[in-house]
Amino acid sequence: MHLPEKFKEKYEKLLGSEAQAFLQTFDQPAVSGFRVNPLKQVQQKFANPIANMPWSYYGKISGKSLAHATGLVYSQEPAAQVVAQIAKAESGMRVLDLAAAPGGKSTHLLSYMNNQGILVSNEISRKRSKILVENMERFGARNALVTNETPERLANVFPAYFDLIVLDAPCSGEGMFRKDPEAMQYWSETYPTECARLQREILVEALKMLKAGGSLIYSTCTWAPEENEEVVKWLLKEYPYLELIPIAKFNGMQAGIDQPETARIYPHHFQGEGQFIAKLKDTRPSEKSVKIRSGKTNLSREQLSYWQDFAGKHLTISLSGLFQVFGDQLYLLPEGLPDLAKVKIARNGLHLGTFKTKRFEPSFALGMALKSDEVKKSIALDDEQALQYLSGHTISLTIDRPNGWYQVLAQGNGLGFAKWVNGTLKNYYPKGLRLK
C-alpha cells in the first residue's frame, strides 16, 4: 500500500523501534469479523472465536446468508467491537450512541442491554440514518429509537439525561486505511487537527446530555494523538469533574501515549484494524433519574381494540411501553422519553404495524423483533424455502393451517410476518431487502 510520506514519517517518529512492524501491516489484508446476536436463537456453531470478546468471531458473513437476513449475526471489524464491550451498557440504562451509523456499536450496546432501558441511536446524515434503521430492525431492537439530528439540537431535548454516552467520533480514519484505502485521499498533515476541532465541538454538546455520575466513552478509528490523547487532555481540563477510568488491556491492546488509562489498538499487536478508546466518569454526585412523565397513548378506542385483538390471537407476551399512532402506523416507544416533537426521527421506537379498515396488519419489524416462543402462530421454512422467500417468491407448503398471519421462521429466527392463504405463504418481505 502506498502510504503518504508524511504519514510514515509521523509514525516512524511516534513509534520508534515498532514503526517498521506497524508500517508492514499495511501490506497485509484487512481483518474481518462479526458478532453473534444474543437476542436471537442460535442453532449453529461458528468457528474462530475472538479471545476475551463475548459473541465475537473472525471471518466474513455473506449479506445473502440466512444468518445475516435474520439478524443472527452482524459484520463488524474486530477492533471496532472493543468500543461497546468497554462501554458495557446495562439493562435499564438510558444510553446514547451519538454517531451511530451504520449500527455496529448500537447493535452491540443492545446485546448488553437485553432490550431493557432506552437506547437513542443518532446519525446526523439522513442517508446513513436509513442504513442504521435497517440494521437496527434486522437485529431485533425493541427499546431503541433512531434520531437524525445535530448534537446541538439533541442536547436541547435531552439535558442531563443519559447514564452512558458513546461517541465514536468522526475522525481522520487512519485506522481504516487497510479496509478503505480511499480514506488516504483525505489525509494530510493538518487533517487530524481539523478533525480534533470538530470532535471537541461534538463533545461540548454530548456532555450537556450526560447526567451526573454517568459515563462517557470516547473513541476514534485513528492513531493521531491530536484526535485522541490531546482531546482527552482538553476534556479533563475543561470539565474537571471528569475522571479518566483505566481500561483493562487484552488481546494486544496498548496503553495510550502518556495516558495509561486509555487504550490503543495497533494492527501489529491486535488482529484487527485501528482504534483509540477512553472511558471517562462524571464524578459529581449521581442523581436519581429524573422521572419523565411518559406521553399518553393516542390510540382511539377502535384502534386499541384492533391491536388487542391481534395481540391476543398472535402473541404470548404483553408488550410494554408507550403506544403511539402516527397517521395509520402504530409504534411502541420506551417509557421515560422526553417530548420528541422537535426531534427528527428516523425510527420511532418499534414499528408494530398498520391500521387498515377494521383490522390491524403486523409490521416486518415486529416479526423480526419477536422470538419464536413469543408468537402463537409461526411457519418454519427450511433453508432453501427461506432463501426463496428472501428472493420475493411465495411459498407453497403441504401443511394444514387456518388462513391468517404467521411469523415466518428461518433457522429459529423471524423473517417478519406473512399471510397464509389456502396453502400458500404470501410474500411480505420488504422489496428493498430482497435478494437479487
Please give the Cα distance from 352 to 152 (Å, whole number).
Answer: 30
Is residue 105 a known part of a binding site?
yes
Q: How far is CA 255 from the centre of its chain?
A: 26
User: Which residues, other chains included, contact 239 with Cβ-Cβ below 8 Å and sequence gap of 6+?
Assistant: 207
Please give the Cα distance from 357 to 348 (Å, whole number).
Answer: 23
Is residue 205 a known part of a binding site?
no
The cell numbers describing 241, all together, are: 469533574
Is residue 341 a known part of a binding site?
no
Please give the Cα distance from 261 to 275 (Å, whole number).
Answer: 15
Contact 37, 73 (CB under 8 A): yes
Is residue 67 a known part of a binding site?
no
Q: How far is CA 316 from the centre of its chain?
A: 27
Cell 400458500 identifies what position? 424
From 76, 96, 252, 87, select the one nearest 176 (Cα to Cα): 76
Is residue 104 a known part of a binding site?
yes
Contact 169, 222 (CB under 8 A): no
Is residue 100 a known part of a binding site?
yes
Residues annotated as catalytic (active site), given as ranges: 221
The cell numbers describing 151, all together, are: 448534537
Is residue 369 a known part of a binding site?
no
The cell numbers describing 202, all together, are: 461534538
Q: How far is CA 146 from the centre of its chain?
A: 10
**Which amino acid is located at 329 in the chain?**
Q
From 295, 343, 338, 346, select the one nearest 162 (Cα to Cα): 338
In 263-374, which residue ranges form alpha helices assigned H by DSSP? Answer: 301-314, 364-369
Contact 41, 67 (CB under 8 A): no
Contact 126, 148 (CB under 8 A): yes
In 273-392, which residue ranges form alpha helices assigned H by DSSP? Answer: 301-314, 364-369, 383-390
Q: Residue 131: enclosing H or E segment and its boundaries?
A: helix 126-139
Please give the Cα distance from 1 to 21 (Å, whole number).
Answer: 14
**β 144-147/94-97 pair status:** unpaired
Sequence length of the chain is 436
Is residue 192 a known part of a binding site?
no
Is residue 92 a known part of a binding site?
no
From 69, 223, 93, 257, select the one nearest 166 (Cα to Cα): 93
From 40, 147, 143, 35, select the one nearest 93 (Cα to Cα): 143
- Binding-site residue ranges: 99-105, 123, 168
- Binding-site residue ranges for S-adenosyl-L-methionine: 99-105, 123, 168
